Amino acid sequence: MNLKVIFLLFGLSLAFTNSLAQQVEEPKSVPAEWSKPFAPFQIAGNLYYVGTYDLACYLITTSQGNILINTGLADSEPIIKGNIETLGFRFSDTKILLNMQAHYDHMGAMASIKKVTGAKLMINQKDAPATEDGGKSDYALGGSVSTFAPVQVDRLLKDGDTIQLGEMRLVMLHHPGHTKGSSSFLFDVKDTNRSYRVLLVNMPTIVTDKDFAAIPEYPEITQDYAYTLQSMKKLSFDIWLTAHASQCDLHRKHKPGQSYNPSAFIDKKGYNAQLNELEKEFLKKKKGS
């Protein structure tokens, strides 16, 4: 192969690499709290908070490895890794990756963490297309470029499916609206005193400014929001947590350095109040459509 051909191939390779890099454009104007570090802590039993100040990421430890739920923005990876190791666990022991919604603020570091740990990614089947195209097909935040690195799904989940690792069993709940495959998870953890029913809930906030009737990419959006709100009212749990720490008032319930206190997260009144407000927003939006 002559020198001219080598340079040509090198140039094509470089152009292709640059093209791939340009295909992912995470939004620049995001709240500072999304990237701000936050001290990890034990919530209840084998459930831990390992996310940033507002982008909640949860670690569930088991005898057969660990489950990580959500990954924040792309720059959250070193924070998540550091938080997991600060708690005394190995990042490489992450065996399953889950997500509550296929948006860049919860999927940003997913592809990288999957590659580094070798963990299996399990996603609600309705969010799988957006997961694998980096959010381009999302009805509200999608477009011509990916907002997070596309990542291959290893297992498609549907409503009521069980995710099992070691002694842990999580049930995935299909709660569409915010995204087509927004998901919540219901499971039990226990400590030396008692067991706790935990709900990691994807609150159905409205992400689009458009009238629901003006979203041809998602004709079921009105029905999905209505279904999710009614479904969430019927759930039974002790502790509830959210994809954004601010949604469940986490910073009031826990300050860095505070001792272990699961009872701080038992707050059904706060959950009901949040749902009531979201239902009012939904009904107002529905009326406008």
Instruction: Kindly list the structural domains of the chain, giving each domain's residue range(s) and its CATH number in brackets, ordered by start.
Output: 30-288 (3.60.15.10)
pLDDT tens track for 13-50: 443 334 344 489 999 889 999 999 999 999 999 999 99
Which pLDDT score, from 0 to 100, does residue 14 have?
Answer: 40
What pLDDT does 289 receive?
59
Give the chain's residues under pLDDT 70.
Answer: 1-22, 289
pLDDT at 287: 79
The amino acid at residue 96 is I
pTM of structure: 0.91
Six-digit token string for 209? 């400014």
